[in-house]
């Protein structure tokens, strides 16, 4: 089988000459949009800035060369394996990985998803090459298969995005907490900035003179943990104190009809605006419409909270999930029981009154970027790779 059929002409004969040599493997990065994909791109951005001598080969199972990728360089070399037959793609990926392992003898292999962990363990362990598994959230919160657990046990380290994800995954899947390291999500402070509400968007959504609550979330029936329905249930009480309030919901999915019916049943359908899908490049302008970002959810971390804070928007999250990290245990935002409309309403009223320090947009932005900006991620990533 010729590996040139993968979708690019792969050269494995160059030598790095640098002080480290890494391989990353992911399911998908550029063909989809989502929290995990955003996080992985931030890792690429941080890795690219580590300095001379750092070089990695990146293998992506479901992406193709046609997918837009701004990170291709001498530091990050990408290989794509998208195939009409998924199993064929995995075979091709395994073939290229074997060649890289044998010819390059990397210092470390980084597994970007549990679904790739068994393959990586199978190929790396006989060669004595250590591997690290990256974890995110709910994919590790339920019991894994025996093979996947063995792959976790064989990893040198496990990286995850929050204390909550670490604790829940360790409890459910018997992971040694001493093996887990933190690599939190990051926010690009140049991409997400405060600014005035765009008049054309205010007009488009009918937000003139409104106090705007906002949520960015998939509206899938399997993702009701995002809490959009809870926020809708909180609206009648909020409207009593702030008759001008509107709730802007950004996202799409099969749960929207149920949510729209709920708003109608509660008499607040005129307060809820379903904006549908908004591309990433337009999100900042939408965050700027909000007076508060409301998502009483259960997240592995919750990058959207950082995006809102970087735009100077106060935030509300659930109180039993990974959002404890971006919200710094409540120092930077409101944390409430995630299925409690009364608690959501009470917190929203506090936010809209604007008397709390957590409503100070400039301070909020400074804190978020200092703790979770790209520079902070880069320092943490450097610390982790140097410790390998």
Whether the predicted pLDDT of 10 surpasses 60: no
Domain CATH for 150: 3.40.50.2000
Q: How far, in Å, CA of 263 to CA of 239, rounded?
A: 13
23 plus 150 within the same structural domain: yes
Maximum separation of any 2 CA atoms in the chain, in Å: 69
Does residue 191 lie in a domain region?
no
Provide the 3-class DSSP secondary structure of residue 157.
strand
Domain count, the chain: 2
Q: What is the pLDDT of residue 1?
A: 35
206 and 348 co-located in one domain: yes
The parent domain of residue 259 ranges over 199-372
Sign of the CA dihedral running 137, 141, 142, 143: positive
List pLDDT tens digits, range 21-47.
Answer: 999 999 999 998 888 998 999 999 999
DSSP for 45-108 reads: HHHHTS-TT--EEEEESS--TTS--TT-SSSEEEEE---SSHHHHHHHHHHHHHHHHHHH--SE
Asked whether the predicted pLDDT for residue 151 surpasses 90, the reply is: yes
Q: Are residues 51 and 160 in the same domain?
A: yes
The yes-or-no verdict on residue 250 having pLDDT over 90 is yes
- pLDDT category at 15 given cuts 50, 70, 90 is very low
Residue 11 pLDDT exceeds 90: no
Coil, strand or helix at 273? strand
* pLDDT tens column, 181-237: 999 999 999 999 999 999 999 999 999 999 999 999 999 998 888 999 999 999 999
Specify if 18 maps to a domain: yes
pLDDT, position 126: 97
The reply to whether 192 falls in a domain is no
Statement to judge: residues 217 and 314 lie in one domain: yes
Rounded Cα gap, residues 205 and 202, in angstroms: 6
Whether residue 12 is predicted with pLDDT greater than 90 in this model: the reply is no
The pLDDT of residue 4 is 37
User: Rounded to whole angstroms, how far apart are CA atoms 166 and 164?
Assistant: 5
* Integer Cα distance of 8 and 305 in angstroms: 38
Both 224 and 341 in a single domain?
yes
Q: What is the pLDDT of residue 9?
A: 42
User: What is the distance between the terminal CA atoms of the chain, rounded to a whole angstrom?
Assistant: 34
Decide if 152 is inside a domain.
yes
Q: Which phi and psi angles does 211 have, rounded to 5°?
A: -90, 120
Question: Is 194 part of a structural domain of the chain?
Answer: no
Predicted confidence at residue 354, as pLDDT, reads: 97
Residue carrying structure tokens 């320090």: 357
On whether both 353 and 377 belong to a single domain, the answer is no
Is 181 inside a domain boundary?
Answer: yes
Residues 236 and 274 in one domain: yes
What is the predicted pLDDT for the residue at 6? 43
| Conformational region of residue 61, where left means phi above 0, alpha means psi within -120 to 50, and beta covers everything else | alpha
pLDDT of 169 reads 94
**Residue-level pLDDT at 13:** 44
Which residue in this structure is represented by tokens 């106090």? 211
Residues 176, 232, single domain; the answer is: no
Tell whether 224 and 166 lie within a shared domain.
no
Shared-domain flag, residues 322 and 223: yes
Give residue-wise pLDDT tens across range 94-129: 999 999 999 999 999 999 999 999 999 999 999 999
Please tell me which residue, 38 or 357, carries the higher pLDDT value. Answer: 357
**Mean pLDDT estimate for the chain:** 93
* Residue 35 tokens, joined: 């929290």
Q: What is the pLDDT of residues 55-93, one digit of tens each?
A: 999 999 999 999 999 999 999 999 999 999 989 999 999
> Which residue(s) pair with 77 in the sheet?
57
Answer yes or no: is 193 within a domain. Answer: no
Residues in contact with 175: Cβ distance below 8 Å, sequence separation at least 6, in sequence order: 152, 158, 169
- The verdict on 215 and 166 lying in the same domain is no
How do 272-276 and 292-295 pair as beta strands?
unpaired
Let me know if residue 246 belongs to a domain. Answer: yes
Same domain, 125 and 234: no
Please report, rounded to a whole number, the percentage of residues in the chain having pLDDT higher than 70. Answer: 95
Q: Is the pLDDT of residue 345 over 80?
A: yes
Question: Is the distance from CB of 125 to CB of 109 less than 8 angstroms?
Answer: no
DSSP-based three-state secondary structure for 272: strand
């Amino acid at each position: 089988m010729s590996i040139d059929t993968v979708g690019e002409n792969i050269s494995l004969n160059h030598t790095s000459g640098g002080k480290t040599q890494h391989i990353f493997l992911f399911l998908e990065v550029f063909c989809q949009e989502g929290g995990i994909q955003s996080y992985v791109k931030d890792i690429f951005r941080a890795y690219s800035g580590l300095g001379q001598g750092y070089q990695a080969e990146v293998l992506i199972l479901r992406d193709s060369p046609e997918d837009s990728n701004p990170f291709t360089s001498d530091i990050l070399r990408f290989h794509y394996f998208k195939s009409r037959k998924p199993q064929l793609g995995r075979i091709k990926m395994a073939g290229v990985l074997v060649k890289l392992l044998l010819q390059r003898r990397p210092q470390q292999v980084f597994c970007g998803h549990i679904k790739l962990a068994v393959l990586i363990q199978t190929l790396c362990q006989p060669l004595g090459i250590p591997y690290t598994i990256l974890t995110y959230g709910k994919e590790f919160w339920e019991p894994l298969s025996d093979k996947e657990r063995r792959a976790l046990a064989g990893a040198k380290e496990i990286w995850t995005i929050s204390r909550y994800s670490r604790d829940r995954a360790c409890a459910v899947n018997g992971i040694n907490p001493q093996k887990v390291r933190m690599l939190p999500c990051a926010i690009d402070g140049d991409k997400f900035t405060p600014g005035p509400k765009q008049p054309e968007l205010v007009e488009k959504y009918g937000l003139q003179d409104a106090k705007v609550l906002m949520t960015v979330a998939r509206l899938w029936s399997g993702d009701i943990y995002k809490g959009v329905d809870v926020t809708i249930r909180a609206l009648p009480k909020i409207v009593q104190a702030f008759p001008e309030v509107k709730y802007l919901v950004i996202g799409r999915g099969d749960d929207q009809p149920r949510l729209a019916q709920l708003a109608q049943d509660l008499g607040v359908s005129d307060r809820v605006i379903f904006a549908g899908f908004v591309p990433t490049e337009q999100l900042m302008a939408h965050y700027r419409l909000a007076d508060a970002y409301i998502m009483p959810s259960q997240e592995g971390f919750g990058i959207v909270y950082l995006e809102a804070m970087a735009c100077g928007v106060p935030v509300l999250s659930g109180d039993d999930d990974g959002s404890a990290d971006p919200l710094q245990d409540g120092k930077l935002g409101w944390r409430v029981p995630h299925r409690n409309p009364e608690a959501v309403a009470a917190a929203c009223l506090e936010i809209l009154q604007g008397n709390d320090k957590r409503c100070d947009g400039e301070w909020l932005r400074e804190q978020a970027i200092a703790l979770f900006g790209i520079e902070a991620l880069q320092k943490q990533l450097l610390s982790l790779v140097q410790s390998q």
